[in-house]
Chains A and B, each alone.
Chain A
C-alpha cells in the first residue's frame, strides 16, 4: 500500500485486456503514465483507445490484466470516480438542459465541485449559459463538457477524441482551454487525450502512447521518442543489427530505408545515413507495423 501511494505514475496498467465475446477490443496493454503529464493516446480506429479510457474510468470492466489509477484499482465507487474527469467520445449531455443546469447537476452529483470556476470559464468563452445544449455548436458543446469535467477538480482528465468532430478553429480553442487548465493545475492534473489528429496533440502533449491493433506499442516521453527514433537510409544490405529495433522497412531496388528505435542514442554507422523523423512518421510506422501485410508503397505514399 505504501509503495502504491508513492507511485509517480497516475496510471499503471499491466496486461490489461477487454474482450467482447470473441473479439478483443484491447489486449495486453501495459503502460505507465506519469503524474502531471499530458499524454496523447494515438492509434488507428479500433485500436482500443476508447476501450482503454472506459476501463480507466470504470465504465467497463477488464477481461484480464490489472490497472492502477491514482494508486487505486478502478471501481464504480464515488470516491474513485470523483478524482477523474471524463469526456466520452460523443460528448454526451442532456440536449434539453442548458449549460447552467448542467453545472447545477454537477453540484448535486459531486461532493467536490466548483460551479464558479465552470461558470466563469464558459462566460469568458462567451458561451450562452441559458441556451439548451442541443442548440449549441459542436465547439461550444465540447467547451461546456470540458468545463464540467474540470469543475469536478479532477486529478486525472480522460478525453476521448474530444476534437475529432470540431472544425479547425474550435479545435484550436478547445486545446487552448485544455492547455490553460493544465497550467492552472500546476502539475496536479494528469491528462490523457486520445485522437488520430496528431498535429493537434503535439501542440499540448508531452507524452505519447501508441496503441495499434489493441496492443501497446510505445509509451514514452515525446522528446525521448524523437531522440530514439531515426530513419536509416542506405544501399540494400543486411539490416539485422542488435543496436536498433526495426519499426518499418522500405525497400526499393536501389536502397533500403529503415525507421528504427535505437537502443543507444549514440548509434553511428557509416553504412547508413541517419535522419531525424517527426512524430507523424513514427506514429505511422507503428501503425503500419501492426498491420498484417504492409503494402510498402501505399504506406510510403500516406501523408497526414
Chain B
C-alpha cells in the first residue's frame, strides 16, 4: 500500500519536473517555426491511446482480483436472490459493452492518427449502420426492461394479507427503534404530538392495539423463513433504512409511512459460518444524509430460528407494562398520507 502511495506521489512530482522542463524547452524554441502538432506528438499520443486501453482493462481486472472480497456476501433474503440474478444478467451486458466499446475506441484512436500524405475517408453516413446500432441496443434494452420490471413488481407488488412478522422501524437523529406489533399483530396508532421521553415513538395510549407493542433498541430479531413486513416512520428528517445483506432499502419520511417486506433465508449463525467470521452481524444503516452523526446510525439485525425468536420476544417488555402516565386524549392520526407501497 505504502509503495503504491509513494508511486503515485512520485508520478505527481515527475509531472511537475516535466512541466519545468517543457517550459524551458518551449522558451528556447520561441520564434522557431514549429508545427502546432508534430508527427512525433501524434505518434506518441497514438501509442498512449493503446497504453490507456491496457491500463483501463488491466486496472479493471486487477480490481476484480483485489476487491472482490469486499463485495456484499450472497443475499440473505428470498427476493434478494432474484435481485442478484438480475444484477448478474445486467452486469454481463454492462461489462461486455464497456470492454468492447472501449477497445474499439482506443484501437481506432491509436491506428488512424495523422500521417502526411494520408487522407481521411469521406464517410458521412450510412443508414444501414445507423439502423443496426439503434436496433441492437433497443432489443437488449427491451429484455433488460421487461426482466427488471418483473423483478420489481414481484418485490413491491400489492400484498393481499400480511402473514408474518409485523414490525416498524422508527428513525430519528441519530438512532433507530424497532416496534413489534405484539400479540394482536397490530401496530397501535401514533401521533407525533404525543412524543415524551417515556413515549419516544408517540404511541396513542387510547388505541388498544398499542398496549402490547414491543419496542427495542440496539438490535432487533427476525425469524428465518418468515416474511417480515416493515413499515417506516421518521421523527425529524428523512432517513433511509438500508439493510444491504437483505437487498432491502426504504426511506423513512417524516409525515408519512413507507413500507417494504422481505423474507430472511439465512440465520445469523449460518451466515457467520459461511463467512468464517464469528463477529459477523447483519446490520441496519442510515443511507440518507441526516446530520452530523449520519455515519454512525445503526442497529444490529439478528436472524434466528422461530423458536429462538419467540423466546427472545417473550423476554421483551410490552409498551403498556412500562410505568408511564396516561397521555391526554388525542385523535388517532388519520390525516396522515399513507403511501401504499404494498
Q: Do A and B bind each other?
A: no
